[in-house]
Structure 1
Amino acid sequence: MTDDSPRPPRRHRHRPIYAAAAVLLAAGAAIAVPRLADAATTLQSLAAAKGKTVGFALTSSYLSEPAYKNIADTEFNLVVAENAMKWDATEPSRNSFDYTAGDAVASYAASGGKQLYGHALVWHQQYPAWVDGITGGADLLAAMRNHISNVAGHYAGQVVAWDVVNEAFEDNGARRQSIFQQRIGDSYIEEAFKAARAADPAAKLCINDYSTDGINPKSTAIYNLVRDFKARGVPIDCVGFQAHLILGQVPSDLQANLQRFADLGVDVRITELDVRMTTPADASELATQRSDYQKVFTACANVTRCTGVTVWGITDRYSWVPDVFQGYGAALMWDENYARKPAYDGAAAGLGGTVTTPTPGPTTPGPAGGCAVTYAVNQWNAGFTANVTVRNTGSSPISGWSLRWDYAAGQTVTQSWSSSVTQSGATVTATNAAWNGSIPVGGSTSFGFNGTHTGSNPAPVAFALNGAACVNG
């Protein structure tokens, strides 16, 4: 099933933990940048081969992070503004428009040859306070038309499609009692689409909603609206299915649902995909998430009029999920340190690819003495930073690694880079990131992490790489 909770604004996050990351970057302990451009196959190449696009929601300030920008540049051929094109961002005061943030997203899309998807012209959230002050239905209708005319007109020729109206229905299929529904009435959706067509005749016009991924009262209400619009000649070209999913609950009738809308003569798209789970994530959850991503991408690939899939962000570092659903997260294809997760493999497989991300566990174990580990620490008060170098001293290359050690004084790992680190009691396991899993004979790789201690912070005395003991130093 999909989530049925009320939807708070999907604004980007500011998480205090990353202030520490900024200090480390300044000190030279930078997060490694995955060399994704070296990969023979990317999501965008797989999607393009099927005549589809794979997109992501962008907050342009994140492009200053090399790892983020590298993934954005390489893996996607469509961009949607996470917040920059919404009403509160584009028209903060009545008839006074600000396109600065939206134009930054549009500029990035154009510079990389990516399609630009518009989100969202009319929504019951993230509109400016002055809209609430409009009491008359006729005045609100005029303000809505003016907003659509200006914003869609500004991006005419740049945007391939717009979410014209977002989240207009309740889960039981009734109209959501938004300010637009209450003060304008049932006609507001139709009027919004007509205004959008007048402003940009070339853009495809979509209605977008959540918890509509399967056949249910909500998706059926939208189906009936689309059928009515098509019968009466009201402009509508596409339907967006947000797909903010819960782990293991991809609707079994997702593809059938997409197909029934396509049969009405409209395009369909997965517009805001993420799959959340309880955190911290374990290997079993990540495997299920991989399957979920594959199911969603497969469903779209199998429906001719499905234009593609957009994920609601790149990295768990900036996902909206933990701020809204307590205890949940890890919803995207890259983790907080930009390590590619098994979900990426699922998406690639759904598009017909065979890309494989290394997962925890031995893949090329070496004999005892086939590895050497150097563990260096810089500590202060109750915290420390550790930098670990693993050397392959054996006779065979290592492809995929998992390094394990035990702490003797209750130390706790809080944040890692260039690896994925988990801890169970005293035992810590560090697994390679997507870009540093291969260690040639005589070669080495390094990773690091932050941690806390309670006054005593002795170095580990033993390390095991893929289950085989390593030499210290």
Structure 2
Amino acid sequence: MQFSILLSLAALPAAFGQLNTLAKARGLKYFGTATDTPTLTDATYMSILSQKSEFGEITMTNAQKWSYTERSQNVFTYHGADTLMAIIKKNGQISRCHALVWYQELPDWVKYGSWTSATLIAVMKNHIANVVTHFKGSCISWDVVNEAFNEDGTWRKSVFYNIIGSEYVPIAFAEAAKYDPNAKLYYNDYGIERAGVKANAVLNLVKSLKARGIQINVGLQSHFAVGLTPSFAAQKSNLQSFTALGCEVALTELDIAFRTLPPSADGLAQQAKDYGTTVSACVATPGCVGITLWDFSDKYSWITHEHPGAGDALVWDLNYRKKPAYYAIATALGGGGSSGGGSSGGGSSGGSGGGSSGGGSSGGGSSGGGSSGGGSSGGGSTKPPTGGSVAKFGQCGGLGYHGSTTCVAGTICVRQNAYFSQCL
């Protein structure tokens, strides 16, 4: 029974775990978390963040994004990011740097400039050169391009795609490689954690860039909902589809949210099971190098800010008490690479939102307010159908959506965030 699982996890001693230590013992490079400058005055939060045994890697949810580093053209400011990087280095931690080119978190001068392809390429190259050079030697990896695809596998409309076309992606990767050749370069996205049209689009991107001799690795954001997390088998098989192409992969923005609050005891047990499943899939996949939570305490989750009524997605609660999910992660890291708590249901991921990574790198507490802008999928970046049934993985609802809400047989419309519901 779910409740008995919850009791057994909660009964484990407080010292059980230390997630980064366990992850490295299993062959991962790190277990980490996202954070950002609003947390710096929270002493309890910072005392946990600074424990290298828990978090060997830190990702800045917002501080390295375009709207923070180049608010005015060719005027670069790094105060927030430099403050965080100094803390990371003092703690002996490493950093995944995030994110150079994303359709959200752009200043108005970029979004609304009168560009030609040549002038926008020059602006993009200049931004990448300055930011990557500034942090050279401090980043184990860079999320070079974030969330370039719609849920149906088509290219997402953005100022970069609209003006330059899809070539903006290889240009960005090639440019980043010039300025920090030792950093791993990543494409980062949500909704690619199980096989489907969007994952296929990213696989094709990887093949295309590798055929041109351009380095590319893949970050799977892994924003899930409790009870709708893809199964161990589905996640492992999907990860292997990327590593088979010679990619390094990482889970870059992991959180597993409740769609309604407060969670029940059974719900907390299911969340723990889902975390265990996801972590186990990475551990069981050679080439999956690390896992990053999209912040670690529910107090700073982007979901709380972007989607009132949903949340409690992380592994420490609002009062910094470890939840059952913490112990499930520790068990998955320490126990043999099986499916952990077992397979969960077969859902897909939602976006990261809140001002950071759009559906992924969020801001408010991570990408939400952090890496992803106001939501991961954004409302209206995918062209809605005009009628009839929506195919599996297609959009079926969300703010600003006016298409069909009827899913094909065998699927149902699942709300991922305020801007995007999906047939699963």
Q: TM > 0.5 between the two? A: yes
- Alignment correspondent of 1:111: 90
Q: Deviations over 1:403-429 (max 9, x none)?
A: xxxxxxxxxxxxxxxxxxxxxxxxxxx
Query: CA–CA distance in 2 between the matches of 1:334 and 1:280?
Result: 15
Contact 1:47 1:351 (C-alpha < 8 Å) held by counterparts: yes
Query: CA–CA distance in 2 between the matches of 1:215 and 1:232?
Result: 25
The 5 Å alignment of 1:7-406 reads: 39=15, 41-52=17-28, 53-74=30-51, 75-135=54-114, 136-236=116-216, 238-252=217-231, 253-277=234-258, 278-352=260-334
**Which protein is bigger by CA-based radius of gyration?**
1
Secondary structure in 2 aligned to 1:213?
coil
Secondary structure in 1 aligned to 2:151?
coil
- Alpha-carbon distance, 1:65 to partner: 2.2
Query: CA–CA distance in 1 between the matches of 2:255 and 2:186?
Result: 20
Q: Deviations over 1:234-270 (max 9, x none)?
A: 222x100001101111212111100110110010000
Query: CA–CA distance in 1 between the matches of 2:37 and 2:132?
Result: 20
Query: CA–CA distance in 1 between the matches of 2:84 and 2:95?
Result: 8
Contact 1:289 1:343 (C-alpha < 8 Å) held by counterparts: yes
Contact 2:137 2:182 (C-alpha < 8 Å) held by counterparts: yes
Unaligned runs of 5+ in 1: 1-37, 355-473
Q: Percent identity?
A: 42
CA RMSD of aligned residues (A): 1.5
Scaled by the length of structure 2, the TM-score of the pair is 0.73
2:27 corresponds to which letter in structure 1? G
Secondary structure in 2 aligned to 1:117?
strand
- Alpha-carbon distance, 1:353 to partner: 5.5
- Alpha-carbon distance, 1:304 to partner: 1.2
- Alpha-carbon distance, 1:109 to partner: 1.2
1:168 corresponds to which letter in structure 2? A
Query: CA–CA distance in 1 between the matches of 2:275 and 2:16?
Result: 21
Say if 1:348 and 1:41 are closer, same or farther in 2 by CA, change over 3 A. Answer: closer
- Alignment correspondent of 2:378: none
Query: CA–CA distance in 1 between the matches of 2:142 and 2:239?
Result: 18
Query: CA–CA distance in 1 between the matches of 2:15 and 2:272?
Result: 20
Higher relative contact order (CA 8 A, sep 6+): 2
Q: Which deviates more from structure 2 when the two are superposed, residues 320-329 or residues 205-214?
A: 320-329
- Alpha-carbon distance, 1:137 to partner: 1.8
Query: CA–CA distance in 2 between the matches of 1:229 and 1:89?
Result: 29
Provide runs of 4+ in structure 1 moved above 4 Å.
none
2:306 corresponds to which letter in structure 1? V
Secondary structure in 1 aligned to 2:162?
helix
Contact 1:210 1:243 (C-alpha < 8 Å) held by counterparts: yes
2:265 corresponds to which letter in structure 1? A
Contact 2:17 2:327 (C-alpha < 8 Å) held by counterparts: no
Contact 1:86 1:119 (C-alpha < 8 Å) held by counterparts: yes
Q: Deviations over 1:151-191 (max 9, x none)?
A: 01110111000000000000110000111000011100000
Q: Deviations over 1:377-398 (max 9, x none)?
A: xxxxxxxxxxxxxxxxxxxxxx
Q: Deviations over 1:9-51 (max 9, x none)?
A: xxxxxxxxxxxxxxxxxxxxxxxxxxxxx83640011011123
Secondary structure in 1 aligned to 2:140?
strand
Contact 1:68 1:314 (C-alpha < 8 Å) held by counterparts: no
- Alpha-carbon distance, 1:349 to partner: 1.4
Query: CA–CA distance in 2 between the matches of 1:67 and 1:285?
Result: 26
Q: Deviations over 1:278-310 (max 9, x none)?
A: 211111110000001001110000011001110
Contact 1:46 1:353 (C-alpha < 8 Å) held by counterparts: no
Query: CA–CA distance in 2 between the matches of 1:324 and 1:254?
Result: 26
Scaled by the length of structure 1, the TM-score of the pair is 0.65
Secondary structure in 2 aligned to 1:122?
strand
Q: Looking at secondary structure, tell me which structure has more strand per residue.
A: 1
Query: CA–CA distance in 1 between the matches of 2:110 and 2:37?
Result: 27
- Alpha-carbon distance, 1:63 to partner: 3.5
Unaligned runs of 5+ in 2: 1-13, 337-424
The 5 Å alignment of 1:402-417 reads: none
